[in-house]
Chain A
Amino acid sequence: MVPTEHHGDQWEPYVDNGGSTLAIAGEDFVVIGSDTRSSDGYNINTRYDPKAFKFTNNTVLATTGYRADCKSMAKSVQAQITKYAHDHGKEMSVEAMAQMLSIMMYQKRFFSYYVFPIVAGIDKEGKGAVYSYDPVGNMERVGFRAFGSSSALLQPFIDDQLGFKNRADIKPEERELHLPDLQQAKNIITDVFNGAAERDIYTGDGLQLFTITKEGGIELEELPLKRD
């Protein structure tokens, strides 16, 4: 944990405010889970500071890292999306938004935002899409991704449950048959976040579950997590 203070001669511009995000892309849906705790060292700054936000009727951006950078970046993205809608008379697609975010982040290559974003939405073919980034804008479209202070706790489990890694009983070509439906995906996120809240001191307080479907648009559920 690095304080934003003068540390000897060296000024440190970044703080890690903890928290975790997890996104799962399904055949025709996306689910994004994120906790609502924001902390600094052993202190809780606030128990309710959502990490995920709706950007269009089709996309959600979830970000962990330094909260100030997360919010500043989200504001810039929102401004561009609004401008795009006015200029073109239509909403930005997930693909376009994902590419734009990558460019916006790389533009700050030498004083980057300290952020770990995930963009989720439904793509032009109606399929669930999850894009993950490193802090300088390296983008990758993935099936599922965990970021933040609990990423080491969350990622191996979704590798197992959704990637079917090390599963001798499921052949690679049969994996699609075993993929979870929307409700199962939500259950997996809820369970693994409860586990992370047990063990990671920076993850807790509340869980936000965003669900995006083509028909239903974006839905938000809020569930409690451990507060200790």
Chain B
Amino acid sequence: MSITQYNGSAIVAMTGKNCVVIGCDKRLGQQALTVDMNFEKVFRVKDKLYVGLPGLATDVQTLHDRIRYRVNMYDLEEERAIQPDNLAHMISNMLYQKRFGPYFCEPIIAGLTEKDEPYIMGMDLIGCLSSAPDFIVGGTASDNLYGMCEALWEPDLGPDDLFRSASQALLNAVDRDAMSGWGAVVHVITPEKTETYHLQGRQD
């Protein structure tokens, strides 16, 4: 088994009309043994900027710490809010520096730009960026999420429709993946506010 599948995770980000959602499952496991049922993998970076970190849990936490450090330094040095594309390239650079001894984590960025346009970006564990107009998925349930999202996503969904589509994609994907699940958290980011939903999922 790949080390990226050791702890289990599922993350999805989707774009809508003037909004984005990003959600994750809550399981932390050691292979088949569930250790924690409240291990969130999506983190707030700024009001309208979130990062999802699927992969090896130790690297998820280390990377989150390093991202927070770098973003705080950016705030102090630049005296302006970091934008989603800046963050994406910052994380990409952090990962590629460790090209020959990588973090086992494939970050996903979701947020709204300065003009409140939706922005999503994914990357592999050595920082190869990949953008998409519709959705980005990651983690052990990524194949399941690809199938769900390809079928469910459509352009210009409003925040409510987008929340429901992303939530159903996530919940049904993790139910067919043994390594992720135990409920989910979904953040719906709109220009005015971010709504965070804790979802009921199968507890097995």
Task: Judge whether B172 and A152 touch: CB under 8 Å.
Answer: no
Taken together as a complex, chains A and B put the C-alpha atoms of A191 and B146 apart, in Å, by: 13
Taken together as a complex, chains A and B put the C-alpha atoms of A153 and B152 apart, in Å, by: 12
Confirm or deny: A70 has a beta carbon within 8 angstroms of a beta carbon on chain B.
no
- Counting chain A residues whose Cβ lies within 8 A of the other chain, the interface size class is 20 to 34
Task: Judge whether B176 and A152 touch: CB under 8 Å.
Answer: yes
Task: Judge whether B175 and A199 touch: CB under 8 Å.
Answer: no
Chain B residues whose C-beta falls within 8 Å of the C-beta of A159 in the assembled complex: 172, 175-176
Taken together as a complex, chains A and B put the C-alpha atoms of A150 and B144 apart, in Å, by: 9
Known: A152-B143, A153-B144. A196 touches B175 (CB 8 A): no
Chain B residues whose C-beta falls within 8 Å of the C-beta of A156 in the assembled complex: 144, 147-148, 172-173, 175-176
Confirm or deny: A181 has a beta carbon within 8 angstroms of a beta carbon on chain B.
no
Confirm or deny: B150 has a beta carbon within 8 angstroms of a beta carbon on chain A.
yes
Task: Judge whether A165 and B144 touch: CB under 8 Å.
Answer: no
Taken together as a complex, chains A and B put the C-alpha atoms of A192 and B173 apart, in Å, by: 14
Task: Judge whether B148 and A157 touch: CB under 8 Å.
Answer: yes
Give the shortest distance, in Å, between A36 (CB) and chain B (any CB).
19
Chain B residues whose C-beta falls within 8 Å of the C-beta of A198 in the assembled complex: 150
Task: Judge whether A195 and B150 touch: CB under 8 Å.
Answer: yes
Task: Judge whether A152 and B144 touch: CB under 8 Å.
Answer: yes
Q: Taking each of A166, A192, A198, which has the highest tally of chain B beta carbons within 10 Å of its own beta carbon?
A: A166
Taken together as a complex, chains A and B put the C-alpha atoms of A192 and B169 apart, in Å, by: 13
Q: Which parts of B81-116 form the interface with A (CB within 8 Å)?
A: none
Known: A166-B171, A166-B201. A155 touches B176 (CB 8 A): yes
Confirm or deny: A140 has a beta carbon within 8 angstroms of a beta carbon on chain B.
no
Q: Which B-chain residue is minimally distant from A168 (CB atoms)?
A: B200
Task: Judge whether B168 and A152 touch: CB under 8 Å.
Answer: no
Task: Judge whether B151 and A166 touch: CB under 8 Å.
Answer: no
Confirm or deny: A154 has a beta carbon within 8 angstroms of a beta carbon on chain B.
yes
Task: Judge whether A160 and B168 touch: CB under 8 Å.
Answer: yes
Chain A residues whose C-beta falls within 8 Å of the C-beta of B152 in the assembled complex: 157
Q: Which B-chain residue is minimally distant from A196 (CB atoms)?
A: B147
Question: Which of B172, B200, B201 has a CB less than 8 Å from the CB of A160?
Answer: B172
Q: Which B-chain residue is minimally distant from A153 (CB atoms)?
A: B147
Give the shortest distance, in Å, between B134 (CB) and chain A (any CB).
10
Task: Judge whether B172 and A153 touch: CB under 8 Å.
Answer: no
Task: Judge whether B172 and A165 touch: CB under 8 Å.
Answer: yes
Give the shortest distance, in Å, between A196 (CB) and chain B (any CB).
6
Taken together as a complex, chains A and B put the C-alpha atoms of A155 and B176 apart, in Å, by: 8
Task: Judge whether A166 and B172 touch: CB under 8 Å.
Answer: yes
Chain B residues whose C-beta falls within 8 Å of the C-beta of A166 in the assembled complex: 168, 171-172, 175, 201
Task: Judge whether B175 and A153 touch: CB under 8 Å.
Answer: no
Chain B residues whose C-beta falls within 8 Å of the C-beta of A194 in the assembled complex: 150
- Interface residues as binary, A145-187 with B (CB distance below 8 Å gives 1, 0 otherwise): 0000010111111011000011110000000000000000000
Chain B residues whose C-beta falls within 8 Å of the C-beta of A165 in the assembled complex: 171-172, 175
Task: Judge whether A199 and B172 touch: CB under 8 Å.
Answer: no
Taken together as a complex, chains A and B put the C-alpha atoms of A196 and B148 apart, in Å, by: 10
Taken together as a complex, chains A and B put the C-alpha atoms of A168 and B176 apart, in Å, by: 18
Chain A residues whose C-beta falls within 8 Å of the C-beta of B201 in the assembled complex: 166
- Interface residues as binary, B160-204 with A (CB distance below 8 Å gives 1, 0 otherwise): 000000001001110110000000000000000000000011000
Taken together as a complex, chains A and B put the C-alpha atoms of A155 and B147 apart, in Å, by: 8
Q: What are 17 contact pairs spanning A and B, CB under 8 A? A: A152-B147, A152-B176, A153-B144, A153-B146, A153-B150, A157-B147, A157-B148, A157-B151, A157-B152, A157-B172, A159-B176, A166-B171, A166-B175, A166-B201, A191-B151, A198-B150, A199-B147
| Supplied contacts A156-B173, A160-B168, A195-B147, 10 more A-B pairs, CB within 8 Å | A152-B147, A153-B150, A159-B175, A165-B175, A166-B172, A166-B175, A192-B147, A195-B146, A199-B147, A199-B150
